[in-house]
C-alpha cells in the first residue's frame, strides 16, 4: 500500500481525497497557488508546497512545478483530482517518468478517450452505440457548416478535447452556426489548447446518464451502476442522482454492459465514467441510448455513487494504484436506496448564473447530510477558479426521501454577501416535474423563470426585518455581523415600518410578540435568510449602487475580472436590447454582455485580449433619440 500522496489539485476535491488518505494512514501533501495560501486544503494537509501565482496556468497547470513539489516532499504518488491536469496524458507520463505512482488510468487510455472524435470512432469499432454526427478532419468553417446542414438542425457543436460544457453550443438555425462555431473554437482553445470540434445531432428530449466504472491492473472491470446528471445549466451539471429515475432492469443491463465494454476497449485502470445521451421521449430504452464520451478521472458527482453502493471510490483508487485487485466482484456490488447531490455555486441564477465573487462574511451550511466543501466563513471566492463552494449530498431509502432532505438543506443555506444558487437548487428539487422524474437537459432552461428568478420575502420575513431594525437602532452597542436573537417588541400588530429592499420601499408590519431568530445586523442593513435567499433590508434608501451605475447611464461594466475575447460593436453602431456588445472570459467560461436598451454606441473602451478588473467600463451607450 502507498505511504504518501500529493494531490495536484485544490479546494473540496483535495480535501475529499485527504480525508480518505488520512483514514488509510497515508501522509498527505498539498500544493497551492499564492491565492490559496490559507485555503482549507492547505490547512488540512500534513505538508504543503507553493507552486506559483494565482492564475491556474502559472500554478496548478504547471507540470514541472507539481512534480518538483512531489519529489521535494518525498511523495510516493500523485493524485490529480478532477479538472486541471486530471485528464492530461502528458501529465500521467511525466509523473511515471519521475518514478512516482500515477493514481489514474494509463496515459494510453486518457489519450484514447481524450479526443471526443477519436473516442467515438474507437467505440464504434468496439461495438458501443454512438450518437450520429461528424468527427472528421475538415475543421474549416465552410466544411463544418456543410456537415451541420447535412445533419439537420438543431445540431450540437462540441470541443473534441472538451469537458464541463466548455466549447459546446446548440445551434437551431443555419444562419446561427458560424458565430456559434467561432465561440466554441475560441472557448475550447482557451480552456484546452485545442480548437477542434465535432458535431452531433441534437436529441429532442436528451437525458445525460453516466456509468461509474472501475478497472484493476489485471484487466478486471466492474461497474457501480448509473447516475442521472440531466439537470444542467450552461451545459454544466447542477443536480445529480443515483440511480437514474425510470431506469428499467433491461435498460440498465444494456447500459452498464456497454460501459464496461467501453472501458475494456481501452485497457482501463482506475476510476472512470462512461457518459451516455439518452432520448427520453419514450422513456429510457436500451436502443435509444448512445455513447457520448468518457471522463478518465474521478467525477464531481462521485459521492452519490458512494452513497448507494457503500464504496469509497478514493480508497479503491489508492488500492488499485498500489497494485491490488478490485475489492469487490460485480456480483458483490449492490444498490442501496437513492442519493442526490446539489452543487452549491457562488453565482446569481437570475443574472444568467453569473459568478459572484468576494468574501464569505457569513457562511453557514445545514447539518444532517454529507457536505463536501473547502471554504469557511471569512474565506474568499476567487475569480481565478471554479465558483463551486460546496456539494450537498442526501441519501435515503427512497428518491422522495432524498429529494425532500436535500431541498430542505438547500433552503437552509446562509451565505452573505456573496450570492449563491441555494434557493434555485431548492426550487429545482421541489418542482413537481422533478419529483415526478420528468427530466431532460432542458429542464432548467424551460422553467428558468420559475426556478431562477428571486421570490419576494414572506410577510413573516418582513415583520422580522422590521423588528430587527428597531432592535438594532435601540441597541447602540450593536457591532457588524453579530447575531441578534430573542428580541421583544411591544408594538401593536397594526404598526407599520417603511423599509427598503433592493432600493425599493416596502411596508412591514411590526411583530407584537417575542421573536427568536438569527439575524445578521450591520450599521446600515439587516440580512434575513429565507428559503435559500438572502434579503438585505435597510431603514433608508441606498445612496447609489454598482448595478444602477452599470445600467441607467449606459455604462456596460465588467461584472468580474477577466479577459476580453470578443468585441461585437464599434463606435456609432445602433444596438437593440440583447445585442451582444462584448464577450468576457472569466472563471473558465465566456459571458456575453448585452445592450440593456435601444441606443447607440458612444465608445468602445476595450479590445480583444485586454485583461480587465471588476467595474471597468467596457462600452458606453446612449439611449436612442
**191-232 residue pLDDT tens:** 788 899 999 888 888 999 999 999 999 999 999 999 999 999
Task: Output the pTM of the full model.
Answer: 0.82
b vs e for 276-305, b when ≥16 Cβ sit within 10 Å of the residue's Cβ? Answer: bbbbbeeebebebbbbbbbbbbbbbbbbbb
Q: Give the percent of the chain with pLDDT over 70.
A: 93
Instruction: Say if residue 552's pLDDT is above 70.
Output: no
Q: Residue 86's pLDDT is what?
A: 93
Report the distance separating Cα 251 and Cα 255, nearest Å: 6
By C-alpha distance, which of 177, 172, 3, 173 is closest to 76? 3
Q: Residue 401's pLDDT is what?
A: 98
What dotted CATH number matches 132-201? 3.30.1490.20
Q: Residue 544's pLDDT is what?
A: 40
Domain boundaries, the chain: 4-103, 132-201, 208-452, 459-538, 553-623
Q: Residue 546's pLDDT is what?
A: 36
**Alpha-carbon distances of 67 from 49, 70, 83, 114, rounded to whole Å:** 11, 5, 17, 22
| pLDDT tens for each residue of 105-151 | 999 999 988 877 788 888 888 888 888 889 888 999 999 999 999 99
**Alpha-carbon distances of 197 from 113, 128, 202, 436, 500, rounded to whole Å:** 15, 21, 15, 36, 50
- Write the CB contacts of 153 (distance below 8 Å, at least 6 apart in sequence): 171, 172, 173, 174, 202
What dotted CATH number matches 208-452? 3.30.470.20
Report the distance separating Cα 583 and Cα 610, nearest Å: 11
- Tell me the pLDDT band of 514, cut-offs 50, 70 and 90: low
Dihedral of CA 356/360/362/365: which sign?
A: positive
By C-alpha distance, which of 444, 495, 115 is closest to 296? 115
- Tell me the pLDDT band of 498, cut-offs 50, 70 and 90: confident
Report the distance separating Cα 341 and Cα 58, nearest Å: 32
Instruction: List helix spans (H) across 371-435.
Output: 399-411, 422-430, 432-435
User: Among the options 297, 319, 343, 399, which is catalytic?
Assistant: 297
Question: Quick check: bond before 421 cis, omega within 30?
Answer: no
Q: What is the mean pLDDT of residues 549-575?
A: 81
By C-alpha distance, which of 538, 555, 417 is closest to 466? 538
Is residue 605 part of the annotated active site? The answer reads no
Look over the chain and give the mean of its residue pLDDT values, rounded to a whole number: 89
Task: Give strand pairing partners of 237.
Answer: 232
- Write the CB contacts of 434 (distance below 8 Å, at least 6 apart in sequence): 231, 403, 428, 443
CATH topology of domain 553-623: OB fold (Dihydrolipoamide Acetyltransferase, E2P) (2.40.50)
Q: Residue 480's pLDDT is what?
A: 40
- Write the CB contacts of 249 (distance below 8 Å, at least 6 apart in sequence): none
Q: Residue 221's pLDDT is what?
A: 97
Instruction: Say if residue 75's pLDDT is above 80.
Output: yes
Q: Residue 548's pLDDT is what?
A: 35
Report the distance separating Cα 23 and Cα 266, nearest Å: 32
Instruction: Say if residue 482's pLDDT is above 70.
Output: no
Q: Residue 549's pLDDT is what?
A: 35
We find that the CATH architecture of domain 4-103 is: 3-Layer(aba) Sandwich (3.40)
Q: Residue 164's pLDDT is what?
A: 65
Q: Give the percent of the chain with pLDDT over 90.
A: 66
Amino acid at each position: 500500500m502507498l505511504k504518501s500522496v500529493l494531490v495536484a489539485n485544490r479546494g473540496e476535491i483535495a480535501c475529499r481525497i485527504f480525508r480518505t488518505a488520512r483514514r488509510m494512514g497515508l501522509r498527505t501533501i498539498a500544493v497551492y497557488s499564492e491565492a490559496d495560501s490559507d485555503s482549507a486544503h492547505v490547512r488540512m494537509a500534513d505538508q504543503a508546497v507553493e507552486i506559483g501565482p494565482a492564475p491556474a496556468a502559472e500554478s496548478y497547470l504547471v507540470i514541472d512545478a507539481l512534480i518538483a513539489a512531489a519529489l521535494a516532499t518525498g511523495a510516493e504518488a500523485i493524485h490529480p483530482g478532477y479538472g486541471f491536469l486530471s485528464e492530461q496524458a502528458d501529465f500521467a507520463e511525466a509523473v511515471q517518468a519521475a518514478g512516482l505512482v500515477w493514481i489514474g488510468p494509463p496515459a494510453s487510455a486518457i489519450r484514447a478517450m481524450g479526443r471526443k472524435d477519436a473516442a467515438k470512432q474507437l467505440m464504434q469499432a468496439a461495438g458501443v452505440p454512438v450518437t450520429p454526427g461528424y468527427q472528421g478532419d475538415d475543421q474549416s468553417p465552410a466544411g463544418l457548416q456543410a456537415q451541420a446542414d447535412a445533419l439537420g438542425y438543431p445540431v450540437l457543436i462540441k470541443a473534441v478535447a472538451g469537458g464541463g460544457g466548455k466549447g459546446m453550443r446548440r445551434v437551431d438555425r443555419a444562419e446561427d452556426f458560424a458565430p456559434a462555431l467561432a465561440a466554441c473554437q475560441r472557448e475550447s482553445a482557451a480552456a484546452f489548447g485545442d480548437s477542434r470540434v465535432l458535431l452531433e445531432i441534437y436529441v429532442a428530449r436528451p437525458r445525460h446518464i453516466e456509468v461509474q466504472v472501475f478497472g484493476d491492473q489485471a484487466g478486471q472491470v466492474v461497474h457501480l451502476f448509473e447516475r442521472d446528471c440531466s439537470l444542467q445549466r450552461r451545459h454544466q451539471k447542477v443536480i445529480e442522482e443515483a440511480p437514474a429515475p425510470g431506469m428499467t432492469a433491461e435498460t440498465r443491463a444494456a447500459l452498464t454492459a456497454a460501459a464496461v465494454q467501453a472501458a475494456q476497449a481501452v485497457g482501463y485502470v482506475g476510476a472512470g465514467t462512461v457518459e451516455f445521451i439518452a432520448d427520453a421521449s419514450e422513456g429510457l430504452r436500451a436502443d435509444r441510448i448512445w455513447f457520448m464520451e468518457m471522463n478518465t478521472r474521478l467525477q464531481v458527482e462521485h459521492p452519490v455513487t458512494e452513497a448507494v453502493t457503500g464504496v469509497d471510490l478514493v480508497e479503491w483508487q489508492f488500492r488499485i494504484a498500489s497494485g491490488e485487485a478490485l475489492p469487490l466482484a460485480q456480483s458483490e456490488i449492490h444498490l442501496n436506496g437513492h442519493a442526490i447531490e446539489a452543487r452549491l455555486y457562488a453565482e446569481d441564477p437570475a443574472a444568467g448564473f453569473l459568478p459572484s465573487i468576494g468574501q464569505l462574511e457569513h457562511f453557514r451550511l445545514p447539518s444532517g447530510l454529507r457536505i463536501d466543501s473547502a471554504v469557511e466563513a471569512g474565506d474568499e471566492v476567487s475569480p481565478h477558479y471554479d465558483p463551486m463552494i460546496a456539494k450537498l449530498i442526501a441519501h435515503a431509502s427512497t428518491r422522495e426521501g432524498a429529494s425532500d432532505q436535500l431541498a430542505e438543506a438547500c433552503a437552509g443555506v446562509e451565505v452573505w454577501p456573496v450570492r449563491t444558487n441555494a434557493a434555485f437548487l431548492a426550487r429545482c428539487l421541489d418542482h413537481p416535474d422533478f419529483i415526478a422524474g420528468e427530466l431532460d437537459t432542458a429542464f432548467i432552461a424551460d422553467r428558468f423563470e420559475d426556478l431562477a428568478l428571486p421570490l419576494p420575502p414572506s410577510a413573516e420575513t418582513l415583520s422580522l426585518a422590521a423588528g430587527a431594525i428597531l432592535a438594532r437602532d435601540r441597541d447602540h452597542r450593536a457591532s457588524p455581523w453579530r447575531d441578534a436573537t430573542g428580541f421583544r417588541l411591544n408594538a401593536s400588530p397594526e404598526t407599520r415600518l417603511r423599509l427598503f429592499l433592493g432600493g425599493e420601499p416596502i411596508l412591514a408590519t411590526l411583530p407584537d410578540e417575542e421573536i427568536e431568530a438569527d439575524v445578521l445586523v450591520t450599521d446600515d442593513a439587516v440580512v434575513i435568510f429565507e428559503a435559500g435567499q438572502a434579503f438585505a433590508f435597510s431603514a433608508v434608501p441606498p445612496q447609489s449602487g454598482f448595478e444602477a451605475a452599470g445600467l441607467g447611464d449606459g455604462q456596460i461594466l465588467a461584472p468580474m475580472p477577466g479577459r476580453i475575447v470578443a468585441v461585437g460593436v464599434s463606435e456609432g453602431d445602433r444596438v437593440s436590447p440583447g445585442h451582444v456588445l462584448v464577450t468576457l472570459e472569466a472563471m473558465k467560461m465566456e459571458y456575453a454582455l448585452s445592450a440593456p436598451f435601444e441606443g447607440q454606441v458612444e465608445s468602445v473602451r476595450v479590445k480583444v485580449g485586454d485583461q480587465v478588473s471588476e467595474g471597468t467600463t467596457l462600452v458606453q451607450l446612449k439611449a436612442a433619440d
